Amino acid sequence: MTSLNGQTIGFIGLGLMGKPMARNLKAAGAEMTVHNRSQGVIEELSGTGMTPAKTPADAAGAADTVILMLPDTAAVEKVLLGADGVISGLRLGGLLIDMGTTKVIATRAFARDVEAAGGDYIDAPVSGGTIGAEGGTLTIMAGGSEEAMEKAAPVFEVLGQSTTHVGPTGTGQVAKAANQVIVGLNIGAVAEALTLAKKAGADPARVREALTGGFADSRILEVHGKRMIDGAFTPGGKCVTQRKDLFQALELARELGFEMPATALNMALYDKVIEAGLGELDHSALIKAIDPD
Amino acid sequence: MTSLNGQTIGFIGLGLMGKPMARNLKAAGAEMTVHNRSQGVIEELSGTGMTPAKTPADAAGAADTVILMLPDTAAVEKVLLGADGVISGLRLGGLLIDMGTTKVIATRAFARDVEAAGGDYIDAPVSGGTIGAEGGTLTIMAGGSEEAMEKAAPVFEVLGQSTTHVGPTGTGQVAKAANQVIVGLNIGAVAEALTLAKKAGADPARVREALTGGFADSRILEVHGKRMIDGAFTPGGKCVTQRKDLFQALELARELGFEMPATALNMALYDKVIEAGLGELDHSALIKAIDPD
């Protein structure tokens, strides 16, 4: 197992994803300084030998590597650039890794700010959900310089089962946007196909089985197709989160001057599910927009 | 290897798929009688020890099992019920297997006609294309009685790498419709995601690599994503065929009284590609509707 002995890590954002990730880094030997908006989790983690930091600047000042796992772009902006933000405490040559799903164009601006403060920036969003965070089996999509990637490699080895260096800063977030487009649209595909099977008098479970191994096979058919058949919609990834990610991808496409019609329709179907009061269910609940029964 | 020694098979429809399938059955030991509308392929196959039949009725009369591999529902209707059709020559207890992609409601009517003539009917459409037909590695989705499936098992073992008995007659075609819905929509998903990656300044090949193994992973991302990146659009499955299958799935949904909005949009995107004169390209050329460059 990769050892992080002697590494100092500041971790900011200890929610459903961040908390198990911080625990895995600690278990691998890193000295952890942690900061979170709400304090319950900080008390819990300080009981396991992690050091609480009062502000993002304090967390950054205590560590060579700072990891952000925050819910959205506004939170990243505040933690980086706000009063007592990371930038004001960052060590010279410090490494900032944003592992949340953050907007691409904002990411490129944040990277310039961090570099101007003498640090390195990597955007490294993940796929794999809480199960991947807990098991250290996340899929990591990273953008940044070769140098920064070398520094970050041991951390990624602890947190993920595969890391792809996509390209320069921002391209990790581009890959994550592409990931979320495919996830949403593949869920929509399986939802229409299994509804067709059911309404046409076939057993959707047998149809799913028949399709496995052929050209229609996908992780979504395996995992979320089974959820749809079982009606098991405890998240996992929520409809509201998937909807937010689709919105960001569409916003990026608009900024780049082209259309993603299937993604736009997919987001409209998520809106329908959210309007029906089902937004906190797993994103496979999209099938309720096709087959409300 | 499964032996078909002593089995007599009538094979009707010897196109890109049917010809290699007939060859595999012959190689496994079956006595083959073959019929096709155009005669070139019949001359070629009679040179390999297969017996030509003048009419579908003759092909049926010479065999215990009759296999159809025809381009559409109208062709199946003509070969079954037309002058000198299969029904007029079918042996008592003969087995009819339709392995093409045929409409669900018409399939149920054909099955009743064959059963009224004293035969058994299986609808067993396939996924896997010409590569699967040549290698005997098709994915077979079958609808029919348990008894008929037992009789057909050795034939399916020769032609496919996996056969799922989905349910009663017609459910094989339901599964195939579901398969085509997912294939079309997953191609559309990968097309929008890889276009987003390219336009946002990331290398689509690295993005595809980063997504492999995560929740966005699929056979379409692997096979057709690579085709899109390489611009390699020699079919494979053609846009016009995919468009026909989507139309049939939408027609079935309409008959069943529900909407498949993403499938309808996907078909409209295929129409756009076909109108641009690209209908004979592989169905991964759908990306041209998103990114014409």
Residues B280 and B202 in one domain: yes
Q: What is the pLDDT of residue A87?
A: 97
Last residue of a domain, one of B167, B199, B233: B167
Residue of B nearest to A248 (CA): B196
CB A236 within 8 A of CB A282: yes
Q: What is the pLDDT of residue A130?
A: 86
Domain count, chain A: 2
Q: What is the pLDDT of residue A93?
A: 96
Residue A151 resides in a domain: yes
**Residue B271 pLDDT exceeds 80:** yes
Residue A83 resides in a domain: yes
Structure tokens at B76: 């199946």
Q: Which domain holds residue A273?
A: 174-290
Burial grade of A41 (CB within 10 A; 0-12, 13-18, 19 or more):
middle
How confident is the model over A32-44, as a mean pLDDT?
Answer: 96
Residue B69 resides in a domain: yes
**DSSP letters along B199-231, please?**
HTT--HHHHHHHHTTSTT-BHHHHHHHHHHHHT
pLDDT digits (tens, 9 = 90+) for A214-229: 899 999 999 999 999 9
Residue A113 resides in a domain: yes
How confident is the model over A196-223, as a mean pLDDT?
Answer: 96
Residue of A nearest to B216 (CA): A183
Distance CA A106, CA A122 (A): 13
Residue A1 resides in a domain: no
**A178 Cα to chain B: minimum distance (Å):** 4
Structure tokens at A74: 């506004």
CATH number of the domain enclosing B14: 3.40.50.720
- Of A129-133, A265-269, A272-276, B181-185, least confident by mean pLDDT is A129-133
Distance CA B187, CA B97 (A): 30
Q: What is the pLDDT of residue A129?
A: 86
pTM for this one?
0.94
- Show residues of chain B in contact with A221, CB under 8 Å: 182, 218
**Band of pLDDT at residue B1, cut at 50, 70 and 90:** confident
**Band of pLDDT at residue A1, cut at 50, 70 and 90:** confident
Looking at residue A161, its amino acid is Q
Structure tokens at B233: 């659009």
Collapsed DSSP state (helix, strand, coil) of residue A115: helix
Residues B105 and B144 in one domain: yes
Q: What is the pLDDT of residue A82?
A: 97
Other Cβ atoms within 10 Å of B95 Cβ, number: 23
* Average pLDDT score over chain B: 97
Residues A232 and A204 in one domain: yes
pLDDT digits (tens, 9 = 90+) for B85-141: 999 999 999 999 999 999 999 999 999 999 999 999 999 999 988 889 999 999 999
Residue B3 resides in a domain: no
**Band of pLDDT at residue B213, cut at 50, 70 and 90:** confident
Q: What is the pLDDT of residue B230?
A: 98
* Average pLDDT score over chain A: 97
Residue A64 resides in a domain: yes
Residues B185 and B211 in one domain: yes
Residue A107 has phi, psi (to 5 degrees) of -60, -45
Residues A185 and A284 in one domain: yes
Residue B1 resides in a domain: no
**Band of pLDDT at residue A236, cut at 50, 70 and 90:** confident
Q: What is the pLDDT of residue A213?
A: 87
Q: Smallest Cα–Cα separation from B285: which of B169, B187, B215?
A: B187
Residues B226 and B281 in one domain: yes
pLDDT over 90, % of chain B: 96
Residues A30 and A153 in one domain: yes
Cβ contact (<8 Å) for A196 and B260? yes
- Show residues of chain B in contact with A169, CB under 8 Å: none
Residues A153 and A188 in one domain: no
Residues A141 and A104 in one domain: yes
**Band of pLDDT at residue B292, cut at 50, 70 and 90:** very high
CB B237 within 8 A of CB A235: no
Report cis status (omega within 30 of 0) of the bond before B6: no
Q: What is the pLDDT of residue B259?
A: 98
Residues B140 and B188 in one domain: no
| Active-site choice (A176, A198, A238, A288) | A176
Looking at residue B272, its amino acid is K
CA A190 to centroid of chain Cα atoms: 23
How confident is the model over B281-287, as a mean pLDDT?
Answer: 97
Residue of B nearest to A207 (CA): B175
CB B50 within 8 A of CB B29: no
Active site residue B198: no
Distance CA B243, CA A69 (A): 43
Residues A43 and A152 in one domain: yes
- Show residues of chain B in contact with A174, CB under 8 Å: 196-197, 200-202, 207
Residues A114 and A237 in one domain: no
Last residue of a domain, one of B150, B167, B184: B167
Contacts 24+ apart (CB under 8 A), B275-281: B278/B233, B278/B239, B279/B238, B279/B239, B279/B240, B279/B243, B280/B235, B280/B238, B280/B239, B280/B240, B281/B233, B281/B234, B281/B235, B281/B238, B281/B239
How confident is the model over B24-31, as a mean pLDDT?
Answer: 98
**B65 Cα to chain A: minimum distance (Å):** 23
Report cis status (omega within 30 of 0) of the bond before A214: no
Give this complex's ipTM: 0.94
Last residue of a domain, one of A140, A167, A194: A167
CATH number of the domain enclosing A182: 1.10.1040.10
Other Cβ atoms within 10 Å of A247 Cβ, number: 16
**Band of pLDDT at residue A177, cut at 50, 70 and 90:** very high
**Band of pLDDT at residue B52, cut at 50, 70 and 90:** very high
